[in-house]
Amino acid sequence: MPRAHDHDAAVYSAVGGTGVDLFFVISGFVMVYSSEHLFGSAHGALTFLTRRAIRIIPIYWLLTTFYVALEAAAPSLNKGYSAKYIAASYLFFPHARPDGTMEPVLAQGWTLNYEMLFYLLFASTVFWSRRIVVAACSLVLVAIVVVGKLLAPLPPIPSFWTNAIMLEFVFGMLLGFAYREGARMPQWLAAILLVAGFVGLCMVWPLLNAAGGQRALATGIPATFVVGAATFGNFSLNGRFWRLPVIIGNASYALYLTHGLVVPATFVLFRAINLDQGAAAWLVFPAATITSILVAIAAYHGFERPMTSTLRRRASASPRSDQPL
């Protein structure tokens, strides 16, 4: 019979997983917001993809290489990864693990497989105006999801790329378009929507069950409330209270990629000292969270930020680059 704390851990994991939905909505918003100078540009696609590659690839490839090397060095960790599977992991192409799950070597990278498809679609339309880009990308993503539903069940790769979670990019793009068009809301209304969105995300477990697993509806809509309220309300981030959240926010990508290694390592450490993790969840979860944040900040300042700055300088110095990165 499952222990109570096993169920609690599963619920915490499900609620924590809604960070992916926020990530996708934010990504849709940021692509529209930050690409204003690229819309209508003949070289906008190259600049956009270069900027995205510089932002996403270096630390992801570094950690993927670490996992591959760790498996090779420790036979007990060998999971039977083929060369094709490892190559697909580096290239952001979905490929099933030996156990059938559609995750790359660095498991969290499954979200980046969606991101890269979205980036390619966005880049292919960026030479148009903002209005046409948002409309075209939205229609294509909706069509992909609809076709996937109509033709289900599909083979693993088409099934992966037609998942309804892709609609969260649409939600974000629509927010970004509205924001660029000047839409705003009173802070009191934004605060209400912000609270409503977070409450909805925290109820993800029963919502997912009630919606039959339709994640784009069960968690995508609350995530859209949160992102929309946070941006349209024009809340100020000045003041001492926001210093730590801003630091963590800067390291959020590193946090996302490294926590899958740090959290299990923290649990192993507690087991090594014979601590009952169920009884001491009050200690284990905060310790794992704090450790993950500290490692992410170190990774951001020690590798991600300097590497990104170096690559951006080199790309900007290239004679083919006519847009700032």
Give the mean pLDDT of the chain. Answer: 87
256 Cβ contact partners less than 8 Å away, ≥ 6 residues apart: 19, 23, 108
Supply the pLDDT for residue 265: 87
Supply the pLDDT for residue 167: 95
**pLDDT greater than 60 at residue 322:** no
Q: What is the CA radius of gyration of the chain?
A: 21
Q: How confident is the model at residue 11 (pLDDT cuts 50, 70, 90)?
A: very low
**pLDDT greater than 90 at residue 190:** yes
**pLDDT greater than 60 at residue 3:** no
302 Cβ contact partners less than 8 Å away, ≥ 6 residues apart: none
Q: Is the dihedral of CA 290, 295, 298, 299 positive or negative?
A: negative
pLDDT in tens, 139-183: 999 999 999 999 989 999 999 999 999 999 999 999 999 999 999
Locate all alpha helices (DSSP H) within the chain, ordered by sequence.
Answer: 4-16, 18-34, 44-73, 83-90, 110-125, 130-151, 156-161, 167-180, 187-202, 204-210, 215-218, 220-232, 243-250, 252-272, 281-299, 305-317
Q: What is the mean pLDDT of residues 236-241?
A: 77
Supply the pLDDT for residue 16: 62
Answer with the residue of higher pLDDT: 273 or 259: 259
Q: What is the mean pLDDT of residues 92-111?
A: 92
Evaluate whether 125 touches 137 at the Cβ level (below 8 Å): yes
Distance separating alpha carbons of residues 275 and 53, to the nearest angstrom = 42
pTM for this structure? 0.88
Supply the pLDDT for residue 277: 61
Chain centroid to Cα 103, Å, comes to 14
